[in-house]
Structure 1
Amino acid sequence: MRIAIIAAIGKNRVIGKDGKLPWHISDDLKRFKRLTVGQAVLMGRKTWESLGQPLPNRRNIVITSSPIKDVECYPSINSALDALKDQAKVFIIGGAQVYAALFDQADELYLTFVDQEMEGDAYFPPFEDVLQRHFKVITREKHAGYEFLDYVRTT
Protein backbone atom coordinates (compact mmCIF):
# COMPACT_ATOMS: atom_id res chain seq x y z
CA MET A 1 0.00 0.00 0.00
CA ARG A 2 1.26 3.45 -0.93
CA ILE A 3 0.66 6.25 1.54
CA ALA A 4 -0.12 9.59 -0.08
CA ILE A 5 -0.48 12.82 1.86
CA ILE A 6 -2.66 15.52 0.36
CA ALA A 7 -2.78 18.97 1.96
CA ALA A 8 -3.03 22.70 1.33
CA ILE A 9 -0.49 24.63 3.38
CA GLY A 10 -0.07 28.35 4.07
CA LYS A 11 3.34 30.03 4.16
CA ASN A 12 3.42 29.60 7.94
CA ARG A 13 2.36 25.92 7.66
CA VAL A 14 -1.25 26.70 8.64
CA ILE A 15 -3.73 24.10 7.40
CA GLY A 16 -6.85 25.03 9.36
CA LYS A 17 -8.68 27.44 11.59
CA ASP A 18 -11.71 26.58 13.71
CA GLY A 19 -12.20 23.29 11.85
CA LYS A 20 -12.19 24.89 8.40
CA LEU A 21 -9.75 25.68 5.62
CA PRO A 22 -8.61 29.30 6.04
CA TRP A 23 -9.02 29.91 2.27
CA HIS A 24 -11.23 28.89 -0.61
CA ILE A 25 -9.34 27.83 -3.71
CA SER A 26 -11.73 26.22 -6.17
CA ASP A 27 -8.94 24.63 -8.24
CA ASP A 28 -7.48 23.04 -5.11
CA LEU A 29 -10.85 21.49 -4.19
CA LYS A 30 -11.23 20.17 -7.75
CA ARG A 31 -7.73 18.70 -7.64
CA PHE A 32 -8.45 17.09 -4.27
CA LYS A 33 -11.58 15.48 -5.70
CA ARG A 34 -9.85 14.34 -8.90
CA LEU A 35 -7.02 12.69 -6.96
CA THR A 36 -9.08 11.07 -4.20
CA VAL A 37 -12.27 9.83 -5.90
CA GLY A 38 -12.25 6.04 -5.98
CA GLN A 39 -9.54 5.88 -3.30
CA ALA A 40 -9.43 5.36 0.45
CA VAL A 41 -9.16 8.53 2.53
CA LEU A 42 -7.86 8.39 6.10
CA MET A 43 -8.53 11.21 8.53
CA GLY A 44 -8.63 12.11 12.19
CA ARG A 45 -11.80 12.84 14.11
CA LYS A 46 -11.55 16.63 13.83
CA THR A 47 -11.20 16.44 10.06
CA TRP A 48 -14.22 14.13 9.95
CA GLU A 49 -16.22 16.59 12.05
CA SER A 50 -15.25 19.45 9.73
CA LEU A 51 -16.59 17.48 6.74
CA GLY A 52 -19.84 16.55 8.45
CA GLN A 53 -20.45 13.59 6.15
CA PRO A 54 -18.49 10.98 4.21
CA LEU A 55 -16.73 12.15 1.06
CA PRO A 56 -18.69 10.55 -1.79
CA ASN A 57 -17.17 7.79 -3.93
CA ARG A 58 -14.33 7.16 -1.52
CA ARG A 59 -13.68 4.72 1.30
CA ASN A 60 -13.74 7.02 4.35
CA ILE A 61 -11.78 5.89 7.41
CA VAL A 62 -11.70 7.87 10.65
CA ILE A 63 -9.22 7.48 13.50
CA THR A 64 -11.15 7.95 16.72
CA SER A 65 -11.60 6.27 20.07
CA SER A 66 -15.36 6.88 19.88
CA PRO A 67 -17.24 4.94 17.18
CA ILE A 68 -19.32 6.98 14.73
CA LYS A 69 -22.55 5.49 13.41
CA ASP A 70 -22.24 4.13 9.86
CA VAL A 71 -18.58 5.19 9.58
CA GLU A 72 -15.51 2.96 9.34
CA CYS A 73 -13.55 3.89 12.48
CA TYR A 74 -10.36 2.62 14.08
CA PRO A 75 -8.87 3.54 17.46
CA SER A 76 -5.32 4.00 16.17
CA ILE A 77 -3.38 4.82 13.04
CA ASN A 78 -1.80 1.36 13.05
CA SER A 79 -5.15 -0.42 13.23
CA ALA A 80 -6.49 1.76 10.41
CA LEU A 81 -3.45 1.06 8.23
CA ASP A 82 -3.79 -2.64 8.96
CA ALA A 83 -7.41 -2.53 7.76
CA LEU A 84 -6.24 -0.75 4.60
CA LYS A 85 -3.37 -3.10 3.76
CA ASP A 86 -5.13 -4.44 0.64
CA GLN A 87 -5.64 -0.94 -0.81
CA ALA A 88 -3.21 0.08 -3.54
CA LYS A 89 -3.09 3.63 -2.14
CA VAL A 90 -4.51 5.54 0.79
CA PHE A 91 -4.77 9.33 0.91
CA ILE A 92 -4.09 10.97 4.26
CA ILE A 93 -6.36 14.03 4.32
CA GLY A 94 -5.70 15.41 7.82
CA GLY A 95 -5.60 16.68 10.35
CA ALA A 96 -2.40 17.94 11.85
CA GLN A 97 -1.81 14.97 14.19
CA VAL A 98 -2.42 12.40 11.46
CA TYR A 99 -0.13 14.24 9.04
CA ALA A 100 2.60 14.39 11.71
CA ALA A 101 2.24 10.70 12.56
CA LEU A 102 2.39 9.51 8.94
CA PHE A 103 4.67 12.01 7.21
CA ASP A 104 7.76 9.82 7.62
CA GLN A 105 5.91 6.87 6.05
CA ALA A 106 4.53 8.80 3.07
CA ASP A 107 5.46 7.59 -0.40
CA GLU A 108 3.78 10.47 -2.24
CA LEU A 109 2.89 14.06 -1.38
CA TYR A 110 0.27 16.16 -3.15
CA LEU A 111 0.74 19.61 -1.71
CA THR A 112 -0.83 22.96 -2.46
CA PHE A 113 1.33 25.81 -1.24
CA VAL A 114 -0.81 28.88 -0.56
CA ASP A 115 1.19 32.09 -0.91
CA GLN A 116 -0.21 33.69 2.26
CA GLU A 117 0.44 33.63 5.97
CA MET A 118 -2.89 32.87 7.56
CA GLU A 119 -4.16 32.81 11.11
CA GLY A 120 -4.85 29.29 12.20
CA ASP A 121 -4.92 26.69 14.93
CA ALA A 122 -3.84 23.61 12.95
CA TYR A 123 -0.40 23.30 11.36
CA PHE A 124 1.28 20.94 8.94
CA PRO A 125 4.37 19.35 10.53
CA PRO A 126 7.81 20.82 9.73
CA PHE A 127 8.71 19.26 6.40
CA GLU A 128 11.26 21.30 4.47
CA ASP A 129 14.32 19.27 5.49
CA VAL A 130 12.64 15.92 4.81
CA LEU A 131 11.39 17.14 1.43
CA GLN A 132 14.87 18.13 0.31
CA ARG A 133 16.50 14.90 1.49
CA HIS A 134 13.88 12.25 0.65
CA PHE A 135 11.53 13.49 -2.09
CA LYS A 136 11.70 14.77 -5.63
CA VAL A 137 9.19 16.96 -7.43
CA ILE A 138 7.35 15.11 -10.19
CA THR A 139 4.80 17.79 -11.07
CA ARG A 140 4.74 21.55 -10.50
CA GLU A 141 1.85 23.80 -11.48
CA LYS A 142 2.08 27.49 -10.60
CA HIS A 143 -0.99 29.70 -10.24
CA ALA A 144 -1.57 33.23 -8.97
CA GLY A 145 -1.47 32.96 -5.18
CA TYR A 146 -0.80 29.22 -4.92
CA GLU A 147 1.17 26.35 -6.40
CA PHE A 148 0.53 22.60 -6.76
CA LEU A 149 3.56 20.39 -6.14
CA ASP A 150 3.53 16.61 -6.32
CA TYR A 151 6.42 14.67 -4.81
CA VAL A 152 7.55 11.06 -4.77
CA ARG A 153 9.84 9.55 -2.15
CA THR A 154 13.35 8.77 -3.41
CA THR A 155 14.83 7.24 -0.24
Structure 2
Amino acid sequence: MALTTVINKEIRGLKLWQWCLILLPVIISLIIFPFLRDKVYSKNDVIQFDNYHVSITNVATKKEIEGFLIQQKAKGTFVIVDVNVKNTDNKSQYVGADMFRLVDQDNNEFDASSYHFDESSLNPKFSTKGRITYDIPDGTEKVFLLVKNNFLGIGSGKKVDLEIQKALPR
Protein backbone atom coordinates (compact mmCIF):
# COMPACT_ATOMS: atom_id res chain seq x y z
CA MET A 1 0.00 0.00 0.00
CA ALA A 2 1.32 3.43 -0.92
CA LEU A 3 2.24 5.90 1.82
CA THR A 4 -0.30 8.47 0.60
CA THR A 5 -3.10 5.91 0.84
CA VAL A 6 -2.15 5.11 4.44
CA ILE A 7 -2.03 8.81 5.35
CA ASN A 8 -5.42 9.47 3.69
CA LYS A 9 -7.04 6.60 5.66
CA GLU A 10 -5.50 7.91 8.91
CA ILE A 11 -6.78 11.44 8.29
CA ARG A 12 -10.31 10.24 7.39
CA GLY A 13 -10.37 8.06 10.48
CA LEU A 14 -9.91 10.95 12.94
CA LYS A 15 -12.73 11.59 15.36
CA LEU A 16 -14.37 15.01 15.77
CA TRP A 17 -12.55 15.76 19.04
CA GLN A 18 -9.21 14.97 17.38
CA TRP A 19 -10.00 17.36 14.53
CA CYS A 20 -10.85 20.03 17.11
CA LEU A 21 -7.50 19.52 18.83
CA ILE A 22 -5.74 19.95 15.49
CA LEU A 23 -7.75 22.89 14.10
CA LEU A 24 -8.53 24.93 17.24
CA PRO A 25 -4.94 26.20 17.82
CA VAL A 26 -4.64 27.07 14.13
CA ILE A 27 -7.92 29.02 14.15
CA ILE A 28 -7.05 30.83 17.38
CA SER A 29 -3.62 31.84 16.08
CA LEU A 30 -5.15 33.14 12.83
CA ILE A 31 -7.59 35.28 14.81
CA ILE A 32 -5.36 36.56 17.63
CA PHE A 33 -1.84 36.95 16.24
CA PRO A 34 -2.58 39.45 13.46
CA PHE A 35 -4.04 41.81 16.07
CA LEU A 36 -1.02 41.46 18.35
CA ARG A 37 1.50 41.79 15.56
CA ASP A 38 -0.11 44.71 13.76
CA LYS A 39 -1.04 46.89 16.74
CA VAL A 40 -0.41 50.53 15.96
CA TYR A 41 0.00 52.86 18.91
CA SER A 42 -1.04 56.50 18.99
CA LYS A 43 1.37 59.25 19.94
CA ASN A 44 -0.12 59.57 23.45
CA ASP A 45 0.27 55.89 24.35
CA VAL A 46 2.97 54.52 26.63
CA ILE A 47 4.74 51.77 24.72
CA GLN A 48 5.96 49.08 27.07
CA PHE A 49 8.96 46.88 26.48
CA ASP A 50 10.59 44.49 28.95
CA ASN A 51 13.24 46.99 30.06
CA TYR A 52 11.75 50.40 29.41
CA HIS A 53 8.70 52.49 28.54
CA VAL A 54 8.61 54.92 25.62
CA SER A 55 6.19 57.78 25.01
CA ILE A 56 5.94 60.36 22.24
CA THR A 57 5.44 63.74 23.88
CA ASN A 58 5.20 65.96 20.80
CA VAL A 59 5.21 65.82 16.99
CA ALA A 60 5.72 68.83 14.73
CA THR A 61 6.48 69.48 11.07
CA LYS A 62 8.54 72.34 9.67
CA LYS A 63 10.19 73.40 6.43
CA GLU A 64 13.32 74.63 8.21
CA ILE A 65 14.85 74.37 11.64
CA GLU A 66 17.36 76.52 13.44
CA GLY A 67 20.60 74.88 14.43
CA PHE A 68 23.38 76.12 16.66
CA LEU A 69 24.97 78.31 13.99
CA ILE A 70 22.91 77.83 10.84
CA GLN A 71 19.37 77.41 9.69
CA GLN A 72 18.73 74.07 8.01
CA LYS A 73 16.19 73.76 5.19
CA ALA A 74 14.36 70.49 4.58
CA LYS A 75 14.63 68.79 1.21
CA GLY A 76 10.98 67.92 1.80
CA THR A 77 9.40 68.41 5.24
CA PHE A 78 10.98 67.90 8.64
CA VAL A 79 9.11 65.69 11.09
CA ILE A 80 10.28 66.51 14.60
CA VAL A 81 9.53 63.90 17.27
CA ASP A 82 10.00 64.42 21.00
CA VAL A 83 10.35 61.15 22.93
CA ASN A 84 10.60 60.16 26.56
CA VAL A 85 12.25 56.88 27.61
CA LYS A 86 12.07 55.45 31.12
CA ASN A 87 14.24 52.55 32.29
CA THR A 88 11.97 50.11 34.13
CA ASP A 89 14.64 47.44 34.61
CA ASN A 90 16.83 46.94 37.69
CA LYS A 91 20.03 47.49 35.63
CA SER A 92 21.22 50.33 33.46
CA GLN A 93 20.08 50.24 29.83
CA TYR A 94 21.57 51.91 26.76
CA VAL A 95 19.17 54.37 25.17
CA GLY A 96 19.73 56.24 21.93
CA ALA A 97 18.33 57.53 18.66
CA ASP A 98 19.15 54.21 16.93
CA MET A 99 16.11 52.74 18.66
CA PHE A 100 13.83 54.88 16.45
CA ARG A 101 13.14 54.83 12.69
CA LEU A 102 10.55 56.68 10.66
CA VAL A 103 8.45 54.58 8.27
CA ASP A 104 5.94 55.88 5.73
CA GLN A 105 2.74 54.28 4.44
CA ASP A 106 4.75 52.37 1.80
CA ASN A 107 7.20 50.96 4.40
CA ASN A 108 10.06 53.22 3.29
CA GLU A 109 12.39 53.70 6.26
CA PHE A 110 14.01 57.07 6.98
CA ASP A 111 17.15 57.72 9.01
CA ALA A 112 17.27 60.64 11.39
CA SER A 113 18.50 63.90 9.86
CA SER A 114 19.52 65.09 13.29
CA TYR A 115 18.91 64.21 16.89
CA HIS A 116 19.40 65.65 20.31
CA PHE A 117 19.42 62.65 22.55
CA ASP A 118 21.47 61.78 25.58
CA GLU A 119 22.78 58.51 24.16
CA SER A 120 24.12 56.73 27.16
CA SER A 121 23.39 54.24 29.86
CA LEU A 122 20.19 55.08 31.63
CA ASN A 123 20.14 53.96 35.24
CA PRO A 124 17.13 52.11 36.71
CA LYS A 125 13.99 54.17 37.35
CA PHE A 126 15.41 57.20 35.48
CA SER A 127 13.98 58.84 32.37
CA THR A 128 15.55 60.74 29.51
CA LYS A 129 14.11 62.92 26.77
CA GLY A 130 15.19 63.31 23.19
CA ARG A 131 14.30 65.05 19.94
CA ILE A 132 14.71 63.29 16.62
CA THR A 133 14.28 65.04 13.27
CA TYR A 134 13.52 63.25 10.01
CA ASP A 135 13.38 64.74 6.50
CA ILE A 136 10.54 63.19 4.48
CA PRO A 137 9.40 63.88 0.91
CA ASP A 138 6.67 66.46 0.43
CA GLY A 139 3.32 64.80 -0.09
CA THR A 140 3.92 62.07 2.48
CA GLU A 141 0.72 61.93 4.47
CA LYS A 142 1.16 59.01 6.84
CA VAL A 143 4.26 58.19 8.85
CA PHE A 144 4.93 55.94 11.78
CA LEU A 145 7.71 55.98 14.33
CA LEU A 146 9.11 52.47 14.55
CA VAL A 147 10.33 51.96 18.12
CA LYS A 148 12.80 49.11 18.45
CA ASN A 149 13.30 47.21 21.68
CA ASN A 150 17.08 47.63 21.72
CA PHE A 151 19.76 50.16 20.90
CA LEU A 152 21.03 48.15 17.93
CA GLY A 153 17.76 48.73 16.09
CA ILE A 154 17.32 44.99 15.59
CA GLY A 155 13.89 43.41 15.54
CA SER A 156 10.49 44.37 14.24
CA GLY A 157 9.62 46.99 16.84
CA LYS A 158 6.31 48.71 17.56
CA LYS A 159 4.65 51.30 15.32
CA VAL A 160 3.34 54.65 16.51
CA ASP A 161 1.08 56.67 14.19
CA LEU A 162 2.50 60.20 14.37
CA GLU A 163 -0.66 61.72 12.84
CA ILE A 164 1.38 64.25 10.84
CA GLN A 165 -1.56 65.14 8.60
CA LYS A 166 -2.73 67.26 11.56
CA ALA A 167 0.69 68.94 11.84
CA LEU A 168 1.65 69.46 8.18
CA PRO A 169 2.39 73.06 7.20
CA ARG A 170 -0.38 74.55 5.10
In the superposition, the TM-score normalised over structure 1's length comes to: 0.22
Which protein has greater RCO, CA pairs closer than 8 Å, 6+ apart? 1
**Structure with more of its chain in strand, by fraction:** 2
**Structure with more of its chain in helix, by fraction:** 1
